[in-house]
Amino acid sequence: MHWIDPASLPETRGKVKRVLLNPHGEIDGLVLGSRQIHIPPHLSKQIARHVAPGDAVSVRGVKPRGADIVAAVSLTTKNGRVILDEGPHHGGDKHHKPHVDQKPMEASGEVVLALYGPKGELRGALLDDGTSLRMPPHAASELASYLLPGAHVQAWGHGVKNKHGRTIEVDEIAELIHEIDAA
């Protein structure tokens, strides 16, 4: 996205509620209020150094049709530092996905936010404990009812956890049924 002039794009402001991780342990998003901001993973180290939950930030980016997400082209931190997406090949360095040892993990809870890819494709969900559930778009579209806010789910898979959060690549997912006491 290095060819887009960020000054020409709409601006979204807010406080960082949560940092989102991809399955490689890199930061690939932020939650501002109830909106997901997609951050290209090649900016992960810059975001980790300059942005933390609770910080006020300003984002300029592109909003795809059909999803309440902004794909960031630039982000301005609380101190006025501008983090600009120049593309993964800027400076001749190619972004390599880090090797991480994913461990078997499970999580359960209430879905608070559906998670999307940068083009608006459903990719998973954020649980109330902060765990990101991730899956390929074809699987997410088949399991969309499990990924909507308010759904109660349990998921199993392999994931990564670090100081920024926890993400599970989902192998299996089930809806938790809560019985209402009739007493």
Domain boundary among 92, 123, 142: 92
Using a pLDDT cut of 70, give the percent of the chain over it: 90
110 three-state secondary structure: strand
Q: What DSSP line would sit under 31-71, residue for residue?
A: EETTEEEE--GGGHHHHHHH--TT-EEEEEEE--TTSSEEE
* Residue 29 domain boundaries: 6-92
- Tell me the backbone φ, ψ of residue 168, rounded to 5 degrees: -120, 125
What local confidence, expressed as pLDDT, does residue 41 receive?
93
Label residue 86 by pLDDT band (50, 70, 90).
confident
Domain check: are 84 and 112 in the same one? no
How many whole angstroms separate alpha carbon 110 and alpha carbon 18? Answer: 16
Say if 66 falls within a structural domain: yes
pLDDT tens digit sequence for 8-66: 999 999 999 999 999 999 999 999 999 999 999 999 999 999 999 999 999 999 999 98
37 and 69 assigned to the same domain: yes
- How sure is the predictor about 182, in pLDDT bands with cuts at 50, 70 and 90? low
Cα separation, 117 vs 41, whole angstroms: 12
**Are 73 and 17 members of one domain?**
yes
Range of lowest pLDDT (22-26, 84-88, 169-173) = 84-88
Looking at the fold, whether 10 and 52 belong to one and the same domain comes out as yes
User: Do 16 and 62 belong to one domain?
Assistant: yes
pLDDT given at position 3:
75
Q: What pLDDT score does 101 carry?
A: 81
Instruction: Kindly tell me if the per-residue pLDDT of 180 is higher than 80.
Output: no
Measured between alpha carbons, how far apart are the two ends of the chain, in Å? 57
| CATH value at residue 120 | 2.40.50.140
Pick the last residue of a domain from 45, 64, 92. 92
pLDDT at 6 over 80: yes
Tally the domains of the chain: 2
Residue 57 and residue 33 share a domain: yes
Q: Sorting pLDDT into bands at 50, 70 and 90, what band is 96?
A: low
Residue 183 lies inside a defined structural domain of this protein: no
Residues 110 and 163 in one domain: yes
Read off the pTM: 0.88
pLDDT at 177: 81
| One domain, residues 88 and 107 | no
